[in-house]
Amino acid sequence: MTLANRIEVKWVDRGRWPQNPPNPEFPNGIDLDLSNGAIVSCLAALPYPAKRCGLYVLKCETCGQTAAVTTAGRSDDPKSARLGCLRRRVQEMCQHQANPKDVGDPNCISCGKEIR
């Protein structure tokens, strides 16, 4: 399940230009999956290609998950990143919607009804 995108993206410029050629296996960028297989995740589009060598610092405004993604200003830079949700890790499944619920929260994240 992909949640509405609430990921803040900040660019940190390292002021360097790439020293090596891009990886020819990724001529149109890379879609990164940093979710570690989480069922609940958010997807962030990244400015592509990056200006030059640096990194994008990602922070989910909903759950606080963070990540840093390096760039080189080449065609093989990341163009998106998927983050797994910290707040909605799958510990139990909602019985009526089969959606994950917050740990310790007795209510379904989908409909808000109490799960028994």
Residue 103 lies in a domain: yes
| Distance, CA of 55 to chain centre | 14
Residue 101 belongs to what domain range?
88-116
Task: Judge if 62 and 94 occupy the same domain.
Answer: no
Which amino acid type is present at position 12? V
Q: Is residue 22 domain-shared with residue 72, that is, in the same domain?
A: yes
pTM as predicted: 0.69
Pick from 103, 3, 63: nearest CA to 115: 103
Instruction: Indicate whether 2 belongs to any domain.
Output: no
Q: Are 45 and 6 in contact (CB under 8 A)?
A: no
CA distance 64 to 36: 16
- Asked if residue 63 and residue 16 are part of one domain, the reply reads yes
Domain count, the chain: 2
Helix (H/G/I), strand (E/B), else coil: 17: coil
pLDDT 10s digits, 30-63: 999 998 888 788 889 999 999 999 999 999 888 8
Report residue 94 as tokens.
């909602």
